[in-house]
Amino acid sequence: MTRELTQLELLRELESVAEANVNRHLKAARDWNPHDYVPWDEGRNFAALGGVDYDPEQSRLSDVAQAAMITNLLTEDNLPSYHRVIADNFSMDSAWGYWVGRWTAEENRHGIAMRDYLVVTRGVDPVALEQARMTHMTNGYSPELTAGDRAGELTAGGQAGLLRAVAYVTFQELATRVSHKNTGKACNDPIADKLLQRIAADENLHMQFYRNVCGAGMDIAPDQTLRAVTDIVTNFQMPGAGMPNFRRHGVLMAKHGIYDLRQHLDEVLMPVLRKWDVFGRDDFGPEGEKTREELAAFLEQLERDTVKFEEMRDRSLAREALKKARQEKKAS
Ligand SMILES: [Fe+2]
Ligand SMILES: [Fe+2]
């Protein structure tokens, strides 16, 4: 059996890939300013400065759009925790260190723009939003949170390991891309849509960086990397887990197509696994082959769960539509 590469060896082996991908990123990324996406002329003072405090009537966002906006923004707010995971696992030198700083700065822009938009337009309750941010950031995020029962096995001293960290952020960046894109549509406001499409484009570029690093990992250490990928895929939880109202908001978002199991499987997991050619490649050893079977079985079960979820959702939405139609008939 081939020896597993250490964290240091992986960083050295993958450094040229990190460098090439930093350069690719800088060429593809477009600079933008958060303030250009906020309708400042809609803003006014709150009571502390002689104005009027928030009232739910002021929001033009539906319940679904509010839940999605809050969830996506709190996810962005937790950047210091993600920074810690990435910085702990990457080196602070060379292209690795540059990427950590650059990526962190880009992510911070997302939270700035979304909060400014929400506070100026009074899209959500700013007091509740601030309280949720305090709770969510105080809880923080650690890889154990997404590891479920296998936390002890998956992390050593809170460190996810380079391969698990890049596998996790690959899927997470793509998941946030899907979620931002659909939230933009759900807001029913061209300004919010433009802002969230802009953020989603950033997330896609971030995903490409991590996906390419992880893919190169699979080329140099196929069994070891597939193990890390499988650990992440089979334990994946959106980073919102643990945030206030996550269950209620998560259900609303899944029910209304912001982020659901079908999207998770078809738009997040499968495109990345296909890009790495996980099910086509022939360079796995006996351990890797076993891991691949485990991953395939998990995906088959997820497909069955997804079909069940879709049937349940369709029934529930049909019931709601019927109820609404009856109420409207009664009222007319
Ligand atoms: Fe982001
Ligand atoms: Fe991102």
Asked if the structure places residue 196 within a domain, the reply is yes
Task: Indicate the pLDDT class of residue 244, thresholds 50, 70 and 90.
Answer: confident
What are 183-222's pLDDT values in tens digits?
Answer: 999 999 999 999 999 999 999 999 999 999 999 999 999 9
Count of structural domains within the chain: 1
User: What range does the domain containing 236 cover?
Assistant: 14-331
Per-residue confidence (pLDDT) for residue 157, from 0 to 100: 45
Ligand nearest to the CA of 172: 2
pLDDT at residue 120 above 60?
yes
9 marked as part of a ligand binding site: no
Four-residue CA torsion sign, 101, 102, 107, 113: positive
Per-residue confidence (pLDDT) for residue 119, from 0 to 100: 98
Q: How far apart are CA 326 and CA 33, in angstroms?
A: 47
Asked if the structure places residue 114 within a domain, the reply is yes
* The model's pTM: 0.92
Q: How far apart are CA 130 and CA 99, in angstroms?
A: 29
Per-residue confidence (pLDDT) for residue 5, from 0 to 100: 92
CA 37 – ligand 1 centroid, Å:
15
Asked if the structure places residue 6 within a domain, the reply is no
Detail the DSSP E strand segments found in 39-188. Answer: none
Per-residue confidence (pLDDT) for residue 251, from 0 to 100: 87
Give the DSSP H/E element, type plus range, for residue 167: helix 162-186
What are 53-81's pLDDT values in tens digits?
Answer: 999 999 999 999 999 999 999 999 999 99
267 marked as part of a ligand binding site: no
Ligand nearest to the CA of 198: 1
256 marked as part of a ligand binding site: no
Asked if the structure places residue 56 within a domain, the reply is yes
Ligand nearest to the CA of 208: 2
Q: How far apart are CA 269 and CA 89, in angstroms?
A: 23
Per-residue confidence (pLDDT) for residue 243, from 0 to 100: 83
203 marked as part of a ligand binding site: yes
Share of the chain above pLDDT 90, in %: 79
* CATH code where residue 108 lies: 1.10.620.20
Asked if the structure places residue 8 within a domain, the reply is no
264 marked as part of a ligand binding site: no
Per-residue confidence (pLDDT) for residue 144, from 0 to 100: 55
Q: How far apart are CA 193 and CA 180, in angstroms?
A: 9
Min mean pLDDT across 87-96, 139-148, 250-259, 296-305 is at 139-148
Task: Indicate the pLDDT class of residue 250, thresholds 50, 70 and 90.
Answer: confident
Asked if the structure places residue 94 within a domain, the reply is yes
CA 89 – ligand 1 centroid, Å:
19
CA 245 – ligand 1 centroid, Å:
20
Asked if the structure places residue 5 within a domain, the reply is no
- Residue environment code for 189-198, b if the CB has 16+ CB neighbours within 10 A, otherwise e: beebbebbeb
What are 173-183's pLDDT values in tens digits?
Answer: 999 999 999 99
- By CB atoms closer than 10 A (0-12, 13-18, 19+), residue 94 is middle
136 marked as part of a ligand binding site: no
Ligand nearest to the CA of 111: 1
Q: For residue 93, what are its two tokens?
A: 């030198």
Asked if the structure places residue 119 within a domain, the reply is yes
Task: Indicate the pLDDT class of residue 158, thresholds 50, 70 and 90.
Answer: very low
